[in-house]
Amino acid sequence: MSKTALGFDIGGSSIKFARVDTDTGDLASEASSVLLPNPATPTVLLDTIKTALITLHWTGPFGVGYPGVIRHGRTLSAAHLDKSFIGHDWLSDLRSLSSAPVTLINDADAAGLAEVRYGAARKYSKPDSGTVVVATLGTGIGTALFHGGRLFPNTEFGHMQMGEREAEQWAAGAVRIREQLDWPEYGRRVDLFLQEMERLLSPDLIVLGGGVSENFTSFKPYFTVECDVLPAALGNNAGLIGAALATTLPH
């Protein structure tokens, strides 16, 4: 019998959630979304999660993908949320909503977990497999690092300095739109980011997610790195799928 968990993905403007079959990575229900509340404080977001649980009559395990650094259940950054999240033990708040397993995970790490277990990097999910970087090119650049299927949490390579700018100020998907870059120019920018990842980490595979991954073939020809580079396979659902999967991992 398959296992099911509820996954939440907190984005820049909304919170997506769905039931997920954690054996297969398939959605067990259609994904729903609610607008990100304003102000997005720990208490208000907790109430939003609680309302979703009540609406779905959900009493099983659930995981939440959070857009920031998580350490021992505390949210240590809050780029798009209220600053009262910084240093807050939000995992304890979330666990007060259920007697079932509850997890809190960085959103890029969640998307990476999904891609390594079920998606483009699934051949690297075994303990004896190699190193994978998953990078989401969206409003910023989120990253997740794996070796032998094991996650090294809270990497922030999107904030890596590249010349006078951070990587995400140079090659995020939003930058392409804002600066009206054509695909060759954008591809060369992403390539510089990939070169740094290859120089620092020597990965076997880099998986690129985010909205621009839908146009992967338009900018891939401008990559010069030696490692394999693939588009993410799970699209915009990767974050909530990975958040649900996190409930099954050892803690």
The string of pLDDT tens digits covering residues 114-126 is 999 999 999 999 9
Q: Stretch 174-190: mean pLDDT, rounded? A: 97
Considering only residues 1 and 96, tell me which one the structure prediction assigns the higher pLDDT: 96
Q: Residue 12 has what pLDDT?
A: 83
Per the prediction, the chain carries an average pLDDT of 95
Please check the confidence at residue 1 and state whether its pLDDT lies above 80.
Answer: no
Q: Stretch 102-127: mean pLDDT, rounded? A: 96
Three-state secondary structure of the chain: CCCEEEEEEECCCEEEEEEEECCCCCECCCCEEEECCCCCCHHHHHHHHHHHHHHCCCCCCEEEEECCCEECCEECCCCCCCHHHCCEEHHHHHHCCCCCCEEEEEHHHHHHHHHHHCCCCHHHCCCCCCEEEEEEECCCEEEEEEECCEEECCCCHHHCEECCEEHHHHHCHHHHHHCCCCHHHHHHHHHHHHHHHHHHHCCCEEEEECHHHHHHHHHHHHCCCCCEEEECCCHHHHHHHHHHHHCCCCC
- pLDDT tens digits, one per residue of 25-64: 999 999 999 999 999 999 999 999 999 999 999 999 999 9
Q: Stretch 186-196: mean pLDDT, rounded? A: 98
Residue with structure tokens 């060369």?
Answer: 188
Q: Residue 245 has what pLDDT?
A: 97
Within a 10 A sphere around the Cβ of 34, how many other Cβ atoms? 14
Q: Residue 113 has what pLDDT?
A: 97
Q: Stretch 139-162: mean pLDDT, rounded? A: 94
Q: Report residue 221's pLDDT band, with 50, 70 and 90 as the boundaries.
A: very high
Q: Report residue 220's pLDDT band, with 50, 70 and 90 as the boundaries.
A: very high
Please give the domain boundaries of the chain with CATH numbers for all domains.
4-110+237-246 (3.30.420.40), 122-233 (3.30.420.40)
Q: Residue 2 has what pLDDT?
A: 66
Q: Residue 192 has what pLDDT?
A: 97
Q: Stretch 145-154: mean pLDDT, rounded? A: 96
